[in-house]
Each structure stands twice: as C-alpha cells, then as structure tokens.
Structure 1
Amino acid sequence: AAKIKADDIHFARTRLLSLENTHNGKVLPRAYLKDAWTFTRERGLALHVDGARIFNAVVAYGCELKEITQYCDSFTICLSKGLGTPVGSLLVGNRDYIKRATRWRKMVGGGMRQAGILAAAGLYALKHNVARLQEDHDNAAWLAQQLREAGAEVMRHETNMLFVRVGEAQAAALGDYLRERNILINAAPIVRLVTHLDVSREQLADVVAHWRAFLAR
C-alpha cells in the first residue's frame, strides 16, 4: 500500500499492480493471489499477472488455469518457455480489454502477417505440452539433489528452476571448464539452471558428472 502514489500532479498515478507467477521458479501461494485481488479491488487498481511460466504454477498447484486467473484482470502466457514453441505469447483479458490492446498493437506496428503457422505451434503446445511440465519439475528436483550430493551449494529449487551459488572466485573457471565439455552456463556467482522439454535426464546426468569433476579438482 505504501507504494501507491499520492494524487499529485507531478507524478503518474498508480493504476496497476503487476505480479509474476511463477517468480524465479517460485509459485505464488493461492491465498496470496486472492489477497492481492482483494487489495486491488479496494483501491481501484487493475491486477495483471506476468504468466510467462503460469502453466508451471498450474502444474504445481494441481488445478485448472481458471482457478488462479480468476484473481486478475489480465495475464500473459508465454508459448515458448516450457511449452516449447519457436515463438509466441498470449495476452488474455475481457473483450473490451483485448479490443483496446489490439488497437494499441496496430498503432505501434506490432501486427504480424501469415502468423498461422506460429498459432498452430501454440495450439499444439497448449494441447500436448502442459501436463508434461511435471517432468521438468521432477528433473529440476533430481538435478538439485545430485548437485548437492556432488558438493555444490544449491540455494533453492522450485518448479523447473534451481539456483547454485558458485562464488566470484570460481564462476569464470566453472564456466570455462563446462564450456570445454560442451555445456554452456551463465558463468555468474549465482548460476540459474532451468529444465525444459529439450533437456533430458541423461543430459542432466552429464552436467552433474562434469560439475562433480570440477569440484573434485
């Protein structure tokens, strides 16, 4: 509430609360979503959910999409993250909202021609690739356990993401070591690893083996 700006002509008015679900792999509690919805209703704000990985949340909740999106005015879905399409996202809202969004898209030159082939990929992903996200979650949990047993400092993991503390001193060396073995990571002090349908358990086992070898040097 403290972040809502006062009605001052020198500043833009606060009109929107935006949440991300999942957020760095973390699933927002359903009670939190409901409380946020109530909060915005009481203050005349709109509520938008960045749902780039919202189906990971749906799988973790074990519910239908509508059970969590009832607590927002609009939300987005990424069709490539997790769902595996080459490109594409969806903006979801009521009829009037989408009509205004479509006009804004036209005004700023965001329309695409002959996009049917992309839409076909999106439809396939929505029909076939949602339930299998549990496999990504299981792979992330397995990878986290294996790296911990190898001696890596896995800070946390949720859904399909895990974060490993490498440290400033070792980050570049680990990145170089793995790259020489055809494994690419963002060689930062904290490494984020994300599982998806293009990464198999066998490939993850290869990552673990080389990470273990690096730590054992």
Structure 2
Amino acid sequence: MTFQDVQPVPTQRIDLRSDTVTVPTPEMRLAMAEAVVGDDVYGEDPTVNTLQSEVARLLGKEAALFMPSGSMTNQAAIAMHTSRGQEVICAEGSHIYEWELGMMAAFSGVVPRFVPAPLGVPDPQQVRRAVRRSIHQSPTGLISLENTHNKMGGTVIPLDVVAAIRTVADEEGLPLHLDGARMANAAAALGVSLAEVAAPFDSVSLCLSKGLGAPVGSVLAGAKADLVRAHRYRKMLGGGMRQAGILAAAGLMALRDGPARLAADHARTRKLAEALVDAGYAVNLAAVQTNIIYATIPDAQSKVERWAEQGLLASALDIDSVRFVLHYQITDEMLERAVRVLTA
C-alpha cells in the first residue's frame, strides 16, 4: 500500500474545510512508529536531522530547522531578520498578519506595512514605494511574500514578479522572506521545482501539514548563520520537541510523496469551482489556481450547516463567503458527491 493508494478516512465524510484535515495513512503511521529518534533539543534526533537536510537540499538552502507550525517558522524568521521598531512589508491579506495573532508586534516588536496585491500578487514598484527611509518613520526591516496566497484563494506569484521584488530587496539592502506554507502548490502550478520557487529568498517557510499531508510540522530554511538565531527563537516560542523524529518521519513521507499529488488536487479544485459557477454561485475563476476556492454564497453559515448534515464540510468565513480546500484524500467519487450536495 502506498501513500497515493490509501483511501480517505472516514470515507462517508467529505471534508473541504482545509488541506490540514488529512489524516496519516497506515504507511505514514508505520514510519512514525519505526522512526529512529533522539533528543532534538540537543540536535541528536537522526530523523529530524534527515528531514532538515532533505528540505535544505530540495530548497537549495544551506540549512533548515523543523518546527511545530508555519506560524512559528514565520515568526522565527521575522525575529531573525528584524530589529524592534521596524516595519515588515507584506501583501494585503498576508497570513503573517491576518492569522498569526499579532505576533510580529508581540514577539518581535515590528509592525506590518501593507502593499496592494490583486490576486495576491504585489506590484514590485508598490513594494519599492513602501520602503521607509526617513528618520521620522519606522524603518523597513524585511519584505515578506506569501506563495500561494491563502486569503486571495491560493493564488500564485509569478517567478518574474518575485525576481523583480528580489531586485528591490537587493537595492534597498533588505532581506526577503517567503511564507511558503503552500509553496509546493505554487511549484506544481508553475511547473517548476521547489528550489526555483525558493531561490530568490533569504528564508523560506515550508509547511508539511497542508497539501503535502503530514500530521504536524513546518520547516524554516535559509543560511546557516540565520538559522542559528532562528533556533534560539524557536526555543523562546516553545518549539523544542525532544524526540520529534516521530513527527519528522511523517514529514519525510509527505515531502517525498506529497508533491506528486498536487496537480490532481488542482484539477479537482477547478472542476468544483466550475460546477459552483454553473450552479449560480459567484466564484472568481481567475483566482482558482491551485487547491482553494472562495465562493460568494448568501447566508453562508446556514448553508454550511445544511451541507454538514449531508456529510460535506466547508468553512463559512463571512456572512456570504465560503471557502473550499481540496487535498489528496478527496477522490473523484467524493468530488462528484460534493458537487451533487452543493448544487442541489
């Protein structure tokens, strides 16, 4: 039995709330049970060390550091790149601001400087204009991008746009961070390697527990000297996990097997989006680029509750907004059932 062959559990429920809802496959559970472990706080867990080395190699970076969550990897990166009182340039709707509970201010003492980002793609010139140089303003300490952009619907930043923003960062003497929670989805959509997506960035956060299918964990990759500082911030944030190889073993499987499934996830997402449009729901198909759909649906909460009674789970994010996220444990048959429920 392989990672790809395992059927969803439970089969009677179709869970489209997030790609974080996937459960470990039997093969993944076996790898976790058999993982060789040590004390990772001492750097002695061989499975964690293997995962970190493999992520660093795949992303083309010097080193990597395993952490419990993407919020932790992002916040450790912000802390290692900035000084208190600085600003972080980021796209409107960025996860580091919207869903990380103000931690850039609480932990690092920095604040966001937003730039417009239609479909999640910032204009490099807007990024340049957002850089603060005056003694009368908070200086810019970091530029952070998100690829794919969650709140905009899993949209992808083109590589030429990232290259242009890298040029801005170089000319302004600023580090560039990637919140790459779903960067594997971005790579699949662009038809390039993870290393090509990661190349322009000084640090990269890659989540293993979203589309890739691990139960827990994210990895921060970058320069060795930077990650020495990040290691300290991980400790401050409570991220020392001791015999974490049990989790890293699942992460290794997700990293090795998960990317091959993403194109199929994207194709099913497109089919669902088009079915929603055909049923009269408002979906911006231009934003349906990977595995996320945002649909404008009146009385969203009551509809979500009604669908749940029929075994389909989705997320009502506002009075008229519903999010659907596909993942590898949604089969073609489940997709057909979902369409029937949603369009009835």
**Secondary structure at the counterpart of residue 23 of structure 1:** coil
CA 1:108–1:27 in structure 2 vs 1: closer, same or farther (change >3 Å)? closer
Any unmatched runs of 5+ in structure 1?
none
Per-residue Cα deviation, 1:107-162 (whole angstroms, up to 9, x for no partner):
44321111001111111111111111111001101111222222322223111111
Higher RCO (C-alpha under 8 Å, 6+ residues apart): 2
Counterpart mapping for 1:33-182 below 5 A: 33-156=162-285, 157-167=288-298, 170-182=299-311
Cα-to-partner distance string for 1:55-77 (whole Å, 9 max, x where unaligned): 00111111111122111100100
For 2:163 and 2:329, locate their aligned partners in 1 and report how far apart those are by CA, in whole Å: 34
Letter in 2 for 1:57: A
Conserved 8 A contact 1:150-1:208: no
The match for 1:22 is 148
Aligned to 2:129: 2
**Matched letter for residue 208 of structure 1:** V
Take 1:11 and 1:114, find their aligned partners in 2: how far apart are those partners? 45
Structure 2 CA distance for aligned equivalents of residues 65 and 184 of structure 1: 31
- The question of whether the paired residues in 1 share the 8 Å contact of 2:189 and 2:289 is answered with no
What is the distance in 1 between the residues matched to 2:341 and 2:261? 27
Share of identical aligned residues, percent?
A: 44
Aligned to 2:160: 31
Per-residue deviation at 1:202? 1.7
Question: Runs of 4 or more off by more than 3 Å in structure 1?
Answer: none
Aligned equivalents of 1:87, 1:150: Cα separation in 2 = 36
Q: Which residue of 1 aligns with 2:337?
A: 206
User: Could you tell me how far apart the structure 1 residues matched to 2:281 and 2:332 are?
Assistant: 18
Q: CA–CA distance in 2 between the matches of 1:68 and 1:183?
A: 34
Q: Which moved more, 1:30-39 or 1:199-208?
A: 199-208
- Alignment-mate amino acid for residue 279 of structure 2: A
Match of 1:13 among 136, 139, 142: 139
CA distance in 1, matches of 2:234, 2:291: 32
Query: Could you give the per-residue CA deviations for residues 157-183 of structure 1, whole angstroms, max 9, x where no partner exists?
Result: 11111121113xx32331232122122
Q: Please give the root-mean-square deviation of Cα atoms over the aligned residues, in Å.
A: 1.5
Aligned residue identity for 1:202:
E
Matched residue of 2:129: which SS? coil
Distance 1:116 1:28, change over 3 A: same
Alpha-carbon separation, structure 2, partners of 1:68 and 1:212: 37
Alignment gaps of 5+ in structure 2: 1-127
- Superposition deviation, residue 212 in structure 1: 1.5
TM-score by length of 1: 0.91
Q: Which amino acid aligns with 1:15?
A: G
* CA positional deviation for 1:11: 5.1
Instruction: Name which of structure 1's ranges 129-138 and 171-180 shifts more when overlaid on structure 2.
Output: 171-180
Please report the TM-score for the alignment, with normalisation by the length of structure 2.
0.58
Moved more, 76-85 or 141-150: 141-150
1:205 positional shift: 1.6
CA distance in 2, matches of 1:208, 1:165: 16
In the alignment, the residues of structure 2 paired with residue 67 and residue 209 of structure 1 have an alpha-carbon distance, to the nearest angstrom, of 39
- Aligned partners of 1:171, 1:63: CA distance in 2, in Å? 37
